[in-house]
Amino acid sequence: MPPNNVRLLITGGGSYLGRHLVPMAAATHELVYTYFRHHPPQLPPGQQLDVRDATAVTHLVTSLQPHIIIHTVGSNRGHDVENTIILGTQNITRAAATVGARLIHLSTDSIFRGNAPPYDETARPDPVNAYGRAKAEAEAMVQAIPNTVIIRTSLIYGLNVMDHGTAWMAQALRAGQPVTLFDNQIRNPVWVETLSRACLELAQNNYTGILNVAGRQTLSRAAFSLKMLDYWGITSRTTLTVGAASDGEWPLNCELDLHRAAAVLRTPLYGIDDVLTMAGSP
């Protein structure tokens, strides 16, 4: 039995973050989580929900009356990304305001153009693509209601389950397909355990507003990807190249300033080398 009676709703329990966050949250909260189409087999029973369906979202939230909602839905893949992000956030935000729930919303460093790093919490969105524009619009919706936190984060990875980006690379390389890693796209990769713990910590404290939550180690996407390929033992690399991304399709340098998060959170913001060292990886 969870040690407190705080009702927590997590959207996107089937996502990479959700599959790590849900078990952690279940140990400390009265928890309901949602998934879109397929129930995650490694998780306890959840609630199927399409966050684009305003009626379904309103019914679930008003029935559950959660104290806290952690909204993780918002993939950058698929044919309906913008609707999922914009309509989904609109529906969740309205429902949260109706029941007076605290809302923790997951955003991204991709809301920035990538030409003025490091970005702190006062930096205004200036996206270069549809995904970034949709996430920036979602942030504006969240900021319009009280008692909210917007977490701006970066590339999410873990050491127990391969993240989607690494899984794609591994599959392509094993199949002999070309993979290009960009050495001029700069990010702060975040360990999924760090991000999950930060979400739950923010659910319980009084902080409101924007907070950058990511790993304290800044590196290129190429350097990050190579570390992940090494960790997972992916040695088939004859079709792998490293080069520069063109400016415009995705932002280049999205380094996040983490000074505020380090002051607000007890959760350590480990860099990837810290995490690999703790795991005993060379």
Report whether pLDDT(242) > 70.
yes
Q: What are 182-211's pLDDT values in tens digits? A: 999 999 999 999 999 999 999 999 999 999
257-261 LR contacts (CB < 8 Å, sep 24+)? 257/118, 257/119, 257/120, 257/121, 257/212, 258/188, 258/212, 258/213, 258/214, 258/216, 259/120, 260/120, 260/121, 260/211, 260/212, 261/198, 261/211, 261/212, 261/213, 261/214
In this prediction the pTM is 0.95
In a domain, 178, yes or no: no
> In the chain, pLDDT over 90 holds for what percent of residues?
87
Question: Residue 82: which pLDDT band, with cuts at 50, 70 and 90?
Answer: confident
Question: Residue 40: which pLDDT band, with cuts at 50, 70 and 90?
Answer: confident
HEC string of 170-228 equals HHHHHCCCCEEEECCCEECCEEHHHHHHHHHHHHHCCCCEEEECCCCCCEEHHHHHHHH
For residue 262, the enclosing domain spans 7-158+190-215+255-270
Residues 6+ apart with CB under 8 A from 23: 43
Average pLDDT of the chain to the nearest whole number: 94
Report whether pLDDT(2) > 70.
no
Higher-pLDDT residue of 179 and 81 is: 179
Q: Kindly tell me the sign of the dihedral angle through the C-alpha atoms of 143, 163, 172, 228.
A: positive
In a domain, 73, yes or no: yes
DSSP, collapsed to helix, strand or coil, labels residue 47 as: strand
Report whether pLDDT(282) > 80.
no
In a domain, 167, yes or no: no
Q: Kindly tell me the sign of the dihedral angle through the C-alpha atoms of 22, 27, 48, 135.
A: negative
β-bridge mates for residue 219, sequence order: 187
Report whether pLDDT(253) > 70.
yes
Report whether pLDDT(136) > 50.
yes
Domain count, the chain: 1
DSSP 8-class letter at 114: S
pLDDT of residue 1: 40
**Rg of the Cα atoms in the chain:** 18
In a domain, 169, yes or no: no
CATH at residue 94: 3.40.50.720
pLDDT of residue 35: 94
